[in-house]
Amino acid sequence: MCGIVGYTGPRQAAALVLEGLRRLEYRGYDSAGLALIEDGRIEVHKAAGKISVLEKALGAKLPAGHTGIAHTRWATHGAPNTVNAHPHTDCGGTLAVVHNGIIENAGALRTALGKRGHVFRSETDTEVLAHLIEELLPGTGSLVEAVAGALHQVDGTYGIAVVSTREPDTIVAARRGSPLLVAIGSGENFVASDASAVLAHTRSVVYLDDGEIAVVRPQDYRILDLDTVEKEKTVTRVDWDLATIERGGHAHFMLKEIMEQPESVRNTLRGRLLEEEGTVRFGGLNISDEELLKVQRIVITACGTSWHSALIGEYMMEELARIPTEVEYASEFRYRNPIVDERTLVIGISQSGETADTLAALREAKRRGARTLGLINVVGSTIAREVDGGIYLHAGPEIGVASTKAFTSQIVAMALLTLKMGRLRALSILQGRDVVRALAKLPELVSRVLTKAPLIEQLADRLIRAQNVLYLGRGYNFPVALEGALKLKEISYIHAEGYPAAEMKHGPIALIDDLMPVVFIAPKDGVHQKVVSNIEEVKARGGRVIAIVTEGDTALDKLADHRIEIPETLDLLTPVLSVVPLQLLAYYIAVRRGCNVDQPRNLAKSVTVE
Ligand code: AGP
C-alpha cells in the first residue's frame, strides 16, 4: 500500500509533492521517487529507503517543473531498491507512471511487450503500464485514451497517476481497488492516495470510485469511466485540519494517539448516548429498527487489530443483545463459501476503510444478500462508501502504523451498536441506562489509566531484552491479550503470543520459565478468580508475572511481580481501559530498543492489496 501524490499548477511541483509524500509515508517506506515535467522533458529522481533519503539526494535546489507526480513504496513485486522504486517510465522516457496495487497479469503482459521490443528496467509489475501506454499513445487522441486503453488490458488492483511530455500540464489518474482522490485548489489541482497529503492546500476533494479515471489540469478536472464517458461527481469537504495530522509535540504519532484516547473515545460517544431511554442513536446507520429486528445472525469481519475488536464485539452482542454472532478473518471469509443471507448482518470493522480483504469480504456478503455495516474511522473511505450503513468512529486521523485509539473507539462503537440491538430485544431500560452511564464515564477513566505512563515506562526498562512474551486474558480480555501481543510484535519485533488464559495449560505453559515475562489482564470481572488460578500456575513454574488489575484489588499483591492498576467499569468495557497499559508498554519497549515506532519495518498503515 503505497502513497501517491501529484500536482499541476503555477507553483513548483517538487516541494509540494515531497511535502505530500511525507504525510503519506505511513503507507509504505521502502523507496520513494518523483517525476517532473519541464520544457517538454520528464525528469525522474528516485531512491531506496525513506523519503528523507530521496530529499538528501535531491539537495537544496529541487528540480524544476509545474507538473509532477511522486510515490512512496511498500514493495510487493520486486525488491525494495532504487531500480524498482517508482516512477517507472516507457522506453522513450516521455511518460512516467506511479502505482499503488498489484497488476496480476503483469507477467504475461511483460512477455508480450518484450516480444514487441519493449525493454524493461525493473522487476516491478507496474512498469508494464508505462510500456502499454507508450504503445497506445501514438494511435489515440489523448493521454487519457491511452491510459484507459492500457487499463482495459490489466487484471488486478491499481491507483495510478501518469504524466507525459505530450500533455505537459496534465495528470491522468485512475483507480480500481486502491484509494485515490482529486483535490481541488484555486488555479491548481492535486491527486493523492488520501486527504492527509493535500490538507495543507485544500479540503475540497473528489473521491474516485473503482473504474473511474480523472484528467487533472491546473484550471479544471474531469472524471470519466474507463470508456472515457464523462461522469458527475460530488465534491466532499474534509473535516480534519492540519493540526490533527501533526505530532503536536509528542515524540511519535503512536504516543500522541495513545494520549488522545480520552478525547477520541469522547468523540465516538458524542451525541449518541440517550441516558433517559437507556439506548443510543446513530446518524448514519441507515438501517431501520424494523430491519435490525429482522437480523437473525451477525458476522463481524476484519483484519489485524480490527479483528481483535470484532472478537470483543462478538462477546458483547451475544451477552447483551442475545444475537448469534461470529467473527471472521476477512482474508478467509472472502474465499471460503460462507453461509450468509438476507437475515444476516455483516459488520466490517476497519480503521482505514481501505483494507482490501475486509472490502472484498463485505462485497462477497453483499453479493449473497446480507445487509452490510461498516465501523470505520476514515471518512469517505471505500468501505464507508460501499456498505449499506455505518458508524464512523470519529477518532481523528491515526498516523502511527500500530493502531491504538482506533481500537478503543472500535470497542466503544461496538458497545453502542450492541446497546442499540439489545434495547430492540432483551435489554431492559435500566440495564441500558447502566451501560450508557458506564460509557459516559470512560473518557475520564482512560485519562486515569494514562497517569500510569511513568510507571509503565519503568517497567518497560525491565523487558527490553526479552526474547518472548506471553499475554493471557479471559472473556472480554482474551482479545486484549491478542492485541497486547500484536502491539509488542509489530513495533518492537519481540516475539509475543496472546492466549485465552485457560488455554495455556494445553501447550504454552511449556514455554514458562524465569525468562518468560507473562502479562495477565486480570481486572475484577466475572472470570477474575479463574485468572488468579492461572497466575498461580505460572508462578508455580517460575514465570515472571505482570498483571493488569482493578484499582484496590489486592488479590495479586503477593503473586504478581508487577501490577498496573486500572479503574473499575462494566466487564464489557474493561478492554477500553486494560489495553492502554499494553499499548504504552509496547511503545516504551520499542523506543528503548531504538525501533522506528511510527513506521515499523515491513508494515504499512492500510493494507490495500491482498
Ligand atoms: C494494527 O496495529 C495494524 N496496523 C494492522 O493489524 C491493522 O489493524 C490491520 O491492517 C487492519 O487495518 P484496518 O483497521 O485499517 O482495516
The per-residue DSSP string of 152-196 comes to TT--B-EEEEEEETTSTT-EEEEEEBS--EEEE-SS-EEEESSGG
pLDDT computed for residue 256 by the predictor: 95
Q: Which amino acid is at 590?
A: A
Distance set, CA 466 to CA 362, 495, 504 (Å)? 39, 9, 19
- Ranges of beta strands (E only) in 416-491 are 468-473
pTM of the model: 0.86
Provide the pLDDT for residue 29. Answer: 85
Query: Which residue, by CA, sits nearest to atom 3 of ligand 1?
Result: 402
Q: Tell me, using a 6 A CB cutoff, whether residue 306 lines ligand 1.
A: yes
Please check the confidence at residue 233 and state whether its pLDDT lies above 80. Answer: yes
Indicate if ligand 1 lies below 6 Å from the C-beta of 404: no
Q: What separation in angstroms does the CA of 77 have from each of 164, 192, 193?
A: 24, 22, 19
Query: Could you tell which of 352, 354, 487 is best to mutate to test the pocket of ligand 1, judged by most ligand atoms within 8 Å of the CB?
Result: 352
Cα 536 to ligand 1 centre (Å): 34
The count of other CB atoms within 10 Å of the CB of residue 246 is: 14
Tell me: pLDDT of 35 over 90.
yes
> What is the tens place of the pLDDT at every residue in 200-215?
999 999 999 999 999 9
Residue with the smallest CA separation from ligand 1 atom 16 is: 350
Cβ count near 39 (within 10 Å) = 9
pLDDT band of residue 139 (cuts 50, 70, 90) is confident
CA of 376 to the centre of ligand 1 (A): 12
Q: Is the pLDDT of residue 515 over 90?
A: no
Using only C-alpha atoms, the chain has a radius of gyration, in whole angstroms, of 25
Ligand 1 centroid from CA 146, angstroms = 36
Our mutation pick for probing the ligand 1 site, out of 312, 328, 606, 609, counting the most ligand atoms within 8 A of Cβ, is 606
Dist. CA 403 → ligand 1 center (Å): 6
pLDDT of residue 85: 95
Burial zone of 59 (CB within 10 Å; 0-12 exposed, 13-18 middle, 19+ buried): exposed
What is the percentage of the chain residues whose pLDDT exceeds 70?
A: 99
Distance of alpha carbon 127 from alpha carbon 120, whole angstroms: 7
Residue whose CB lies within 8 A of the most ligand 1 atoms, among 383, 607, 608, for a mutation test: 607
Model pLDDT, residue 246? 79
What is the pLDDT confidence band of residue 408, given thresholds at 50, 70 and 90? very high
Mean of pLDDT values over 324-335 = 97
Is the shortest distance between the CB of 382 and ligand 1 below 6 Å? Answer: no
How buried is residue 465: exposed, middle or buried, by Cβ count under 10 Å (0-12/13-18/19+)? Answer: exposed
Q: Is 105 buried (19+), middle (13-18) or exposed (0-12) by CB count in 10 A?
A: middle
Predicted confidence (pLDDT) at residue 248 exceeds the cutoff of 90: no
pLDDT at 245 over 80: no
Active site residues: 2, 605
Q: Which atom number of ligand 1 is nearest to the Cα of residue 490?
A: 2
Confidence of residue 141 (pLDDT cuts 50, 70, 90): confident
Scan for cell 451525541, then name that residue.
271
Strand pairing partners for 458?
Answer: none
- The per-residue pLDDT for 247 is 83
The phi, psi pair for 550, rounded to 5°, reads -80, 140
Backbone angles phi, psi at 501, to 5 degrees: -50, -40
Q: Answer yes or no: is pLDDT of 439 > 80.
A: yes
Band (76; pLDDT cuts 50, 70, 90): confident
What is residue 144's predicted lDDT score, i.e. its pLDDT?
Answer: 97
Q: Quote the pLDDT of residue 576.
A: 98
- Ligand 1: centre distance to CA 332 (Å): 16
Three-class DSSP category at 610: coil
**What are the pLDDT digits (tens) for 333-359?**
999 999 999 999 999 999 999 999 999
User: In this model, does residue 558 exceed pLDDT 80?
Assistant: yes
Does any ligand 1 atom lie closer than 6 A to the CB of residue 304? yes
Burial class (CB in 10 A: 0-12, 13-18, 19+), 204: middle
331 CB under 6 A from ligand 1?
Answer: no
Q: How far is the CA of 371 from the centre of ligand 1 (A)?
A: 23
Confidence bin at 514 (pLDDT 50/70/90) = confident
DSSP code at position 334: T
The pLDDT confidence band at residue 75, using thresholds 50, 70 and 90, is confident
pLDDT attached to residue 79: 85
- Predicted confidence at residue 601, as pLDDT, reads 93
pLDDT band of residue 283 (cuts 50, 70, 90) is confident
Note whether 402 and 570 are within 8 A (CB): no
Average pLDDT value for the chain: 95
Does residue 490 have its Cβ closer than 6 Å to ligand 1? yes
Spatial neighbors of 84 by CB under 8 A, at least 6 apart, are: 31, 73, 75, 77, 78, 122, 123, 124
Cα 359 to middle of ligand 1, angstroms: 13
Place of cell 501533526: 246
Q: Length of the chain, please?
A: 610
Give the residue-averaged pLDDT of 284-305: 95
Mean pLDDT of 461-469: 95
Q: State residue 66's pLDDT score.
A: 97
| Cell numbers representing residue 260 in the block | 488522545
Mean pLDDT to the nearest integer, 480-497 = 98
pLDDT tier at 74, thresholds 50, 70, 90: confident
Ligand 1 atom nearest 352 alpha carbon: 15
Q: Is the CB of 357 under 6 A from ligand 1?
A: no
At residue 1, does pLDDT exceed 80?
Answer: no
Using the structure block, give the residue that is written with the C-alpha cell 515531497. 18
Q: How confident is the model at residue 258 (pLDDT cuts 50, 70, 90)?
A: very high
